[in-house]
Amino acid sequence: MHSTNYPQLILSQSEAAIKIDDFVQEILYSPGLAYKVDSNSNSNSNSDEEINPRLKHYVRYLRVMVDVFNGWTDYDFSEHLELFNDTRLEIRLEDLDSHFTCPAPDDSFRFLSEAECINLLVERIRENSRSIRYLRRKRDRAYESRMQTRDLGEYVSGVMSRYARTLVVRVNLYYRGASKPWLRVEDVFAARSRLAGRIGRDEVFEHLSGYVLRIEQADRQGFHIHAAFFFNASEVQNEAYRAKKIGELWIKVTHGKGYWHDSGRAWLSKHGRGGQRTTGVFKRTDTDACFRVARYMSYLAKTSQYLRIKPENGRAYSTGQLPRGRGF
């Protein structure tokens, strides 16, 4: 049997990445090791009684968390995943199929028991989190988020001021549950590229003036896309129809693995016609409403549903704008 006598568990790439992120945060913000190990205890038993209850949930997934880094694709990782990976490489964590082990750090030519090894992993993650490299990575991500927030706000404000009236359509693009266990983040980036490639060629995007496609990651939905499309409202006004056609196109580019959700319809069902809507038709002269839309779109860069793992040099969001005068 594997860690703490639990059966081998399977997670999707998204779930495993989030599990690592949560594991590292639990280590950094709560005291204690994973196991109680002393000279009078059987350090190889890994029993439930000996494990820290705050870390028990994560230790059982250790193998699948390590497997996130054992692929052929080059990825960029968030600071917590990078911290976890650097530390497990530093201590030379080994998976022997039946248990984990690593060399003793005192150069005694001894290999640690699984409980001792996981305790060492926890200790070194805390130590390494104070390194300049890790702190810089953390600051860099915060800075990148601020820059994205500014850039998206400016982009949306520019698109909203392009025509006298602008139709804003927002859809959430998801993957069906049956496909999630095998879904990898590069698949989502590829699907987004295929969707963007249809812009300017597909009838549904006629009179489009701009768009935002942001890939995100969440506990329940896994990898998904928040999308916003902006149309010249002097030519296009049927929000529900455009959302439906875009959703159907998403299903096509994902080869039937995707489904969609109309954010505008959801708002109407909950709030009716009034309130602070961020979809529908907006007049350029209604500066407060246009600012509200821009502020909401820029908030996408601040969401907690950020990507913990992405293809190397990949960007979570993409934008586009067609030259004035083009039909579609």
Does residue 174 come out as left (phi exceeding 0), alpha (psi in the -120 to 50 range) or beta? beta
In this prediction the pTM is 0.88
What does the pLDDT average to over 287-297?
85
3-state DSSP call for residue 258? Answer: strand
* Residues 244/266, Cβ–Cβ less than 8 Å: no
3-state DSSP call for residue 19? Answer: helix
pLDDT at position 320 is 86
Separation of alpha carbons 209 and 185, rounded Å: 28
pLDDT at position 234 is 93
Tallying the residues shown for the chain, one arrives at 328
pLDDT tens profile 54-103: 898 899 999 999 999 987 789 999 999 999 999 999 999 998 888 899 99
Separation of alpha carbons 24 and 28, rounded Å: 6
Question: In Å, what is the CA distance from 194 to each residue of 197, 216, 250, 277, 310?
Answer: 5, 17, 9, 29, 17
Residue 177 neighbours by CB distance under 10 Å: 10
Name the H helices within 91-238. 114-128, 132-160, 185-198
Nearest to 139 by CA among 88, 131, 126: 131
Averaged confidence pLDDT in the chain: 86
Strands (E) across the chain are located at: 75-77, 94-95, 100-101, 165-175, 208-218, 222-232, 258-262, 280-283, 309-311, 317-320
pLDDT at position 326 is 42
